[in-house]
């Protein structure tokens, strides 16, 4: 009954959902003729009985990359198939084309998923984090394909929501063979909802197992020379609508004390690039976009990161990182601040970080992150750190130590998946 109601609601909403998926967004890759894959019509799958790994978008694909490479290293003859929902996720997955195929994830209708399974014939399904779609899970489980959730997290807020619809969660839980959680609190919440203890394990967060490539470091150094090796540079990473003016005002206040400071402004969504540049100009700031390839002269005050897949390079070129998505109440709940931490950068964050509570608290405890609730607090923290380079460097070292001591989740996850992955 519950499944039928869910499917009816999904059917009614599907025109909107498909419009969002298929509509080309400025700056995003095109889906082209591959739109049929959303309906379970993948092009021929060359992989034989692949491990199917689903990563919704860019962030999940990046986080899963070390695990995917580790699985391939342990099982070199095993084929791997990656699915993503978004085109930007697909673009990120293409970087793994040497070891894995990519297809778009079919929409959560049973007939779409069954067709996908018929073509791909996966050995098992690994779901990154919490992309739990009832019809998909039911179809996969009915096909006797084992399902594991990896890098799973469940906030208290999400747990309470599931409790209100316990029957829906029960439907999902019955399909799962393993749930490998990031933290103890996540595992406890899953068990609180009724998931069997035998199905849960804590393997740590894959996001801590970040490996910064030499390419990123080299590109970061090259960019920093272009921006100005000696001028103070800070980055506002992954900003959302409602945060831009706060960030710009903080920068204006910083400029009154440190006139040569430069802000690297990186909107979260590419369709906002032009609007964010316009807001900066309207506030009287001299904004130059990365795609313009214009020379960054000393009078440039804002450098707009209007490209995709270069966040690590942009953070690497900065002295201090403000992680956005954290200034707009409960709309977003923050973003992962482990990338700047892995690069040894001091971190500033807004007061909303419920999606990364554990990571944030560790960074705060190690004096690697400062919470700033307003433009005034952001500018004050920036001025303090830029005026005290030794304190700035120490804060960055503290951040890196947090990442270093939490690493090892990839190895634990591969070990925990052995019974599923190595099964014939």
- Active-site annotation, residues: 60
Q: Are 58 and 88 in contact (CB under 8 A)?
A: yes
Q: Are 80 and 47 in contact (CB under 8 A)?
A: yes
Burial of 21 (0-12, 13-18, 19+ CB in 10 A): middle
Q: Are 150 and 128 in contact (CB under 8 A)?
A: yes
Q: Are 235 and 335 in contact (CB under 8 A)?
A: no
The two structure tokens encoding residue 358: 């554990």
Tracing tokens 């204006």 back to the chain, one arrives at 252
Contacts 24+ apart (CB under 8 A), 163-170: 163/193, 166/193, 166/194, 167/2, 168/2, 168/6, 168/134, 169/193, 169/194, 170/194
Q: Are 247 and 335 in contact (CB under 8 A)?
A: no
Give how far the C-alpha of residue 192 lies from the chain's centroid of Cα atoms, to the nearest Å: 26
CA distance 87 to 85: 7
List of residues 6+ apart from 352 with CB closer than 8 A: 325, 326, 327, 328, 329, 330, 331, 332, 333, 334
3-state helix, strand, coil in the chain (%, to 5): 50, 15, 35
CB half-sphere exposure, 389, CA atoms < 13 A: 4
Tracing tokens 């214009």 back to the chain, one arrives at 294
Q: Are 356 and 332 in contact (CB under 8 A)?
A: no
Write out the DSSP string of 132-146.
--HHHHHHHHHTT--
Give the count of beta carbons closer than 10 Å to the beta carbon of residue 274.
15
């Amino acid at each position: 009954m519950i499944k039928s109601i869910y499917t009816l609601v999904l059917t009614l909403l599907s025109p909107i959902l498909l419009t969002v998926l298929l509509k080309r967004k400025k700056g995003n890759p095109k889906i082209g003729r591959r739109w049929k894959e959303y309906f379970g019509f993948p092009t021929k799958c060359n992989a034989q009985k692949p491990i199917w790994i689903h990563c919704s978008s860019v962030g999940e694909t990046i986080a899963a990359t070390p695990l995917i490479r580790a699985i391939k290293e342990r099982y070199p003859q095993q084929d791997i198939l990656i699915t993503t929902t978004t085109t930007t996720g697909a673009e990120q997955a293409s970087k793994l084309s040497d070891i894995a195929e990519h297809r778009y994830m079919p929409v959560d209708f049973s007939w779409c998923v069954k067709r996908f399974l018929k073509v791909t014939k996966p050995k098992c399904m690994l779901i990154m984090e919490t992309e739990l779609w009832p019809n998909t899970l039911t179809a996969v489980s009915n096909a006797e394909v084992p399902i594991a959730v990896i890098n799973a997290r469940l906030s208290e807020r999400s747990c309470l929501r599931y409790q209100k619809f316990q029957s829906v969660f029960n439907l999902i839980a019955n399909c799962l063979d393993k749930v490998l959680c990031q933290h103890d609190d996540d595992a406890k919440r899953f068990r609180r909802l009724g998931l069997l203890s035998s199905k849960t394990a804590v393997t740590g967060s894959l996001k801590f197992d970040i490996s910064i490539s030499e390419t990123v470091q080299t590109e970061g150094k090259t960019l920093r020379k272009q921006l100005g090796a000696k001028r103070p540079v800070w980055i506002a990473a992954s900003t959302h609508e409602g945060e831009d003016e706060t960030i710009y005002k903080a920068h204006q206040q910083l400029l009154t004390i440190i006139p040569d400071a430069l802000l690297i402004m990186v909107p979260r969504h590419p369709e906002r690039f032009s609007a964010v540049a316009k807001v900066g100009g309207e506030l009287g700031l001299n904004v130059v976009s990365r795609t313009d390839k214009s020379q960054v002269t000393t009078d440039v005050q804002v450098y707009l990161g209007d490209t995709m897949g270069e966040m690590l390079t942009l953070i690497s070129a900065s002295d201090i990182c403000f992680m956005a998505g954290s200034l707009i109440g409960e709309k977003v709940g923050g973003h992962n601040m482990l990338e700047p931490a892995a690069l040894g950068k001091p971190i500033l964050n807004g007061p909303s970080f419920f999606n990364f509570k554990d990571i944030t608290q560790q960074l705060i405890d190690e004096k690697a992150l400062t919470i700033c609730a307003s433009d005034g607090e952001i500018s004050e923290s920036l001025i303090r750190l830029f005026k005290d380079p030794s304190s700035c460097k120490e804060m960055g070292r503290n951040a890196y130590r947090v990442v270093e001591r939490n690493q090892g989740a990839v190895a634990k996850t591969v070990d925990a998946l052995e019974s599923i992955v190595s099964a014939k």
